Amino acid sequence: MPKTTQQITNPQKEHSDLLPPFTAVSMMWACTGKFAKEEQSQKLAEFTKESIKDIAELADTHSDPREKRYISGAIPTMSSCLRSLDTIYKGRQLNFDEVDKIRDVYLENVKDNLEFGKSAKDLLKSLPTMTISTAGGLSLIQILGSVSPQILWGLGLTFAGLGYVINWLIVRSTRKRTQRLYIKEDYDRDLYYDQYITRVETTLCSLYRDIDRIHKNVFGKRYPVEVGENAEKIVSDLLAGARPTFCSYIQKHMYKKLITPELWSLCETGDVKAVIQCPLWEVK
């Protein structure tokens, strides 16, 4: 006796055995490793890509034809999502490149300031022996020849000391500005990375809902999940470990220029047990 359609499709089965929506989301997050430079990330992405091919092959030979219909709709949707993730990643890299360019311009300015300080120091040190534009082309020491040697010696020492002080002030100021630059650069990169994760989260949530919609159209029901779980929670849990862990006051204190190199690690990590020891910590 031939099998009926009901026997083939197994009406008791209410969900896919091959590709839960949250697995599709995890696979697309893993596939973003292909954009990275690290070999390990690229290998993981390649492994995930092969796994997707295996799922497609299993669907072709599955006893339930609904699996093939479901996978045939899910995989193109995942590919479209990966295209969006690629665009988001490139945007993040563009932001990082802009931060690097700003840093390079600033460091070039720092270099010019240091050269100026060094030149000022050398100029003042040699000023007593420099030739002054007179009819005879005399130096300052020659002009002041009637002055005692002690005074001339003191004059030369004064100019040399003044040059040293000016150079020291410039070097000190430049060092502090450079430290603030690196903190600001690190902060900017963290902000751009946090924005990147937010955009990825939005894209993966959309993917989850699309895959779940396809699942409902094929199997008649959305894929079963734990009580209280939805696309947002599932994706948020997936990306939780990838987000920066800022101190809750970092934006405020960065804007007020209160963050120092000594405090930066506390600000960036946001470890509660550590930041409460920070002198800038605000007790609510």
pLDDT level of residue 185 (50, 70, 90 thresholds): confident
Contact call for residues 59 and 70 (beta carbons, < 8 A): yes
pLDDT at 51: 95
204 pLDDT above the threshold of 90: yes
Q: What's the CA gap between 185 and 164, in Å, rounded?
A: 31
8 pLDDT above the threshold of 90: no
pLDDT at 7: 38
Short-list 73, 27, 42, CA closest to 235: 27
Q: What is the pLDDT of residues 161-177, one digit of tens each?
A: 655 556 655 566 667 77
Q: What is the pLDDT of residues 108-128, one digit of tens each?
A: 665 655 554 455 445 444 444
pLDDT level of residue 281 (50, 70, 90 thresholds): confident
pLDDT at 173: 63
Alpha helices in 139-244 (DSSP H): 140-143, 149-219, 231-239
Q: What's the CA gap between 269 and 245, in Å, rounded?
A: 5
129 pLDDT above the threshold of 90: no
* Beta bridge mates, 131: 139
pLDDT at 99: 83
pLDDT at 161: 60
